[in-house]
Amino acid sequence: MRTEALLWVDPPKFVYYNVRVLSRGWCLTVLAVFACSSGEGRPDAFPEQAGRTHGEIQVVLTVPRAGDASISTEARLFRFRDVDVEGAQVLAGATSPSLLRLPPGACVRVDGEALLSDVLARASSDTTVEMLDAGELMVRAAGGTVRLLPRYVPEIVPLVSGVLYESEGADPLASPPDVGLAEVLVSSLGGPDIGRFDTLAEFPPVPRITSLNGVDPAVALTLDRRRDLRIGWVGGGSGESPVIIFAWSHSGGGELRCRAGAIGHLVIRQAVLSRIPSNGTVQLFLEKSSVGSFAAPGLQVGEIQVSVRDAVYLSVI
């Protein structure tokens, strides 16, 4: 999908905002004309300030083998100074190892606290990240709707303040979910920092785990850290291969992420699995993502990532 935004200004009376969304060969053109005498909608309603602006929206649809499907969303819109964009993402709350661009077969344990500590150690006295307000966000996907409301926090972590967006956990969908509705629509009402916007994205096909050491995942109830694990999988469509995620909440919580290969299976060695704490439960996800861009008044760069997951729950021994 490709989104193009063109803005023509004829001061002082009107702004013409033309958005063209191209997806699967079709083109939707929306032309909005509105008066600017009150200052609303004008580019100078969001004057340039020191630093760069960046936005990230994440939408994750989880379709487990057992239990209810759910959708979770996150949004981070921020202005940053005297730090690179990767460091600003970490300060803003991102812990995804997608920043590391994992090659096929590689694994990494996600340690958000270590990432944050490293960025803070490299920060200067001029480093700041200001989380921006775009008003209420509405996400419509898979037949469900999620609302995200802005909440101001004076100091989120050192050097970071402003507005937090986060859905309250994973919102349950109708059972079964309408996974045939591949499109994701994200809408913003606009706020004091970021103007109103709408953006479309599309879920990739659902990937499925087919076997765990040759056993059907529906009956594979344990994860043995003392031996290698061979994961078989199918689906997910073309493009970048899926990511395998082990997530746990015991022993302080954490994640282990591995990039699957393109051949439908991946062997994770015992030395890697030993990083997962024993005597607890782990969620095993197979996740396929697609990434696109979006535009909004007051935002220089916008990125939307939509993901769909298979899920299996295992006891760790």
Residue 104: pLDDT band by 50, 70, 90 thresholds? Answer: confident
C-alpha atoms less than 13 angstroms from C-alpha of 312 in its C-beta half-sphere:
26
Mean per-residue pLDDT for 48-74? Answer: 83
Residue 93: pLDDT band by 50, 70, 90 thresholds? Answer: confident
Residue 169's pLDDT is 53
Helix, coil or strand: residue 255: strand
Residue whose entry in the numeric block shows the structure tokens 């302080």: 252
DSSP state of 110: E
Residue 43 main-chain phi, psi, to 5 deg? -55, -35
Residue 118's pLDDT is 87
Distances (CA, A) of 238 to 117, 287, 291: 37, 13, 13
pLDDT at position 255 over 80: yes
Residue 153 in tokens: 């926090």
pLDDT at position 66 over 80: no
Model confidence, pTM: 0.77
Measure the CA dihedral 227/110/305/147, to 10°.
110
For residue 284, the Cα-to-chain-centroid distance in whole angstroms is 18
**Of 66, 63, 65, which is closest to residue 287 (Cα–Cα)?**
63
* Of residues 304 and 65, more confidently modeled: 304
Residue 87 in tokens: 């460091």
Mean per-residue pLDDT for 76-86? Answer: 91
Residue 105 in tokens: 């077969």
Distances (CA, A) of 174 to 3, 114, 141, 248, 307: 30, 38, 12, 26, 18
Mean per-residue pLDDT for 253-278? Answer: 87
To the nearest whole number, what is the mean pLDDT of the chain? 78
Mean per-residue pLDDT for 264-269? Answer: 89
Mean per-residue pLDDT for 125-149? Answer: 89
